[in-house]
Amino acid sequence: MREIRLASRPSGWPTAENFEVADVPVPEAGPGQVLVRNVYMSVDPYMRGRMNDVKSYIPPFQIGQPLDGGAIGEVVASQDETVPVGAFVVHGLGWREFSVVDAGKVRVVDPAAAPTLSAYLGLLGMTGLTAYAGLLDIAQFREGDTVFVSGAAGAVGSVVGQIARLRGAKRVIGSAGSAEKAKHLVDELGFDATFNYKDAPVRDQLRAAAPDGIDVYFDNVGGEHLEAAIASMNKFGRIALCGAIAQYNDTAPPTAPRNLASVIGKEINMRGFIVGNHSHRMPEFVAETAAWLREGKITARETVVDGIENAPGAFLGLLRGDNTGKMVVKVG
Ligand code: NDP
């Protein structure tokens, strides 16, 4: 079977040379473990940080070792009676065709309850939960709020905007990196206003899109976007710091936001979060989102790249903005 390994650490933007494909024997499940034939794997922006040799909330990838991350597949051998052969499971050992996983570390899912299996990596999975917990618990969203989300056409952002709409936002504004993405948000996801952040300064475009200011900012991007959101934020506004993708490949410290002091005068509540510490919200999140799905009220586009050998390319494409909605790799 094939697995993708870290070949070297990037400085700045990663390239295909930082990855290698290796052929290894299919591993065997030991007591309490299952062998999973992976069907889809996830590529995510946080993996960029794991390519650096720095201490963070999650350990770095190791050179010469396989990468890991979210995946979904079918159990083909089981040494644990709670997870039988034939079950479909979400787990954390992607980037390989087969994974041996401790039975206690898999989430058994119902393929019939999702439009596609890959939805368990996106809308009904980690990125969906990030949107849900970040908007409702961290940003303390309330009906009638005007919400701005950056990275709005991506996996997390597209769900943030839709949940805000479904939960009674006054106005939902999103920014994305192309005119097509901005149009998709309005036409298919029900955003009220969108803009291409590459067209003009974010501060000006946000002011035009939100003449009465914003109450919530869901930050996927950092930098200039965060500065613009602080500038447009109403008194007692709330900011969920989810990601800062604009700076993941930077080799110098960010130059924005330059207006952090206004957080004081506006009495803004600004808080970072890591989705892994919000798994207690999974049952409510899945119940509510699955109901919206059944009623056709929420939708999630995916960008699917075929073949595990193309996973590094999918990851590099994600960092460049090649995806609309969740970027996933079809493993087999
Ligand atoms: P996305 O599906 O949003 O993909 C990444 C997107 O980032 C690209 O499609 C691209 O879209 C955009 N992007 C890239 N560079 C820039 C830039 N310089 N400025 C603005 N946008 C840029 O990924 P996810 O939805 O998985 O993740 C979104 C954010 O949420 C990331 O910052 C990620 O790290 C974070 N995250 C945080 C979690 C947590 O627990 N805190 C959990 C999951 C994700 P475009 O074409 O619009 O530029």
DSSP string across 200-260: S-HHHHHHHH-TT-EEEEEESS-HHHHHHHHHHEEEEEEEEE---GGGTT-SS-------T
Kindly give the distance from the C-alpha atom of residue 80 to the centroid of ligand 1, in angstroms, as a whole number.
37
Measured from the CB, is residue 298 less than 6 Å from ligand 1? no
258 and 198 within one domain: yes
Dig out the tokens for 181 from the structure: 């993405």
* Substitution candidate for ligand 1 out of 50, 156, 159 with most atoms within 8 A of CB: 156
Rounded to whole angstroms, the Cα distance separating 310 from 41 reads: 11
Measured from the CB, is residue 318 less than 6 Å from ligand 1? yes
91 and 188 within one domain: no
pLDDT at residue 172, as a whole number: 99
Domain at 144, CATH number: 3.40.50.720
Q: How many domains does the chain have?
A: 2
Q: Which domain holds residue 20?
A: 2-122+301-330
| Closest to 310 in 3D by CA, of 332, 327, 325, 329 | 329
Residue 37 lies in a domain: yes
Residue 25 lies in a domain: yes
Measured from the CB, is residue 260 less than 6 Å from ligand 1? no
221 and 114 within one domain: no
For the beta carbon of residue 131, count every other beta carbon within 10 angstroms. 28
Residue 162 lies in a domain: yes
Residue 295 lies in a domain: no
Residue type, 218: F
Domain at 42, CATH number: 3.90.180.10
Q: pLDDT 10s digit of each residue in the chain, 332 long?
A: 999 999 999 999 999 999 999 999 999 999 999 999 999 999 999 999 999 999 999 999 999 999 999 999 999 999 999 999 999 999 999 999 999 999 999 999 999 999 999 999 999 999 999 999 999 999 999 999 999 999 999 999 999 999 999 999 999 999 999 999 999 999 999 999 999 999 999 999 999 999 999 999 999 999 999 999 999 999 999 999 999 999 999 999 999 999 999 999 999 999 999 999 999 999 999 999 999 999 999 999 999 999 999 999 999 999 999 999 999 999 98
Greatest Cα-to-Cα distance within the chain, rounded to the nearest angstrom:
61
111 and 134 within one domain: no
| Closest to 126 in 3D by CA, of 208, 45, 181, 70 | 70
79 and 197 within one domain: no
Measured from the CB, is residue 230 less than 6 Å from ligand 1? no
Residue 294 lies in a domain: no
Residue 285 lies in a domain: no
139 and 113 within one domain: no
Q: What is the pLDDT of residues 265-324, one digit of tens each?
A: 999 999 999 999 999 999 999 999 999 999 999 999 999 999 999 999 999 999 999 999
Measured from the CB, is residue 157 less than 6 Å from ligand 1? yes
Kindly give the distance from the C-alpha atom of residue 74 to the centroid of ligand 1, in angstroms, as a whole number.
28
Peptide bond into 257 cis (omega under 30): yes
Residue 324 lies in a domain: yes
159 and 80 within one domain: no
Which residues touch 112 (CB under 8 Å, ≥6 apart)? none
Measured from the CB, is residue 246 less than 6 Å from ligand 1? yes
Measured from the CB, is residue 323 less than 6 Å from ligand 1? yes
pLDDT at residue 78, as a whole number: 98
Kindly give the distance from the C-alpha atom of residue 245 to the centroid of ligand 1, in angstroms, as a whole number.
5
272 and 159 within one domain: yes
193 and 109 within one domain: no
Rounded to whole angstroms, the Cα distance separating 32 from 78 reads: 8
CA-to-CA dists, residue 252 to 11, 137, 257, 271, angstroms: 11, 32, 14, 24
Residue recorded with tokens 């049952």: 283
152 and 108 within one domain: no
Q: Which helix (H) or strand (E) holds 108?
A: strand 107-109
Dig out the tokens for 179 from the structure: 């005119």
88 and 224 within one domain: no
Measured from the CB, is residue 13 less than 6 Å from ligand 1? no
Rounded to whole angstroms, the Cα distance separating 87 from 107 reads: 10
pLDDT at residue 332, as a whole number: 80
Residue 291 lies in a domain: no
Q: In degrees, to the nearest 5, what angle opens at C-alpha 72 toward C-alphas 68 and 74?
A: 120
197 and 82 within one domain: no
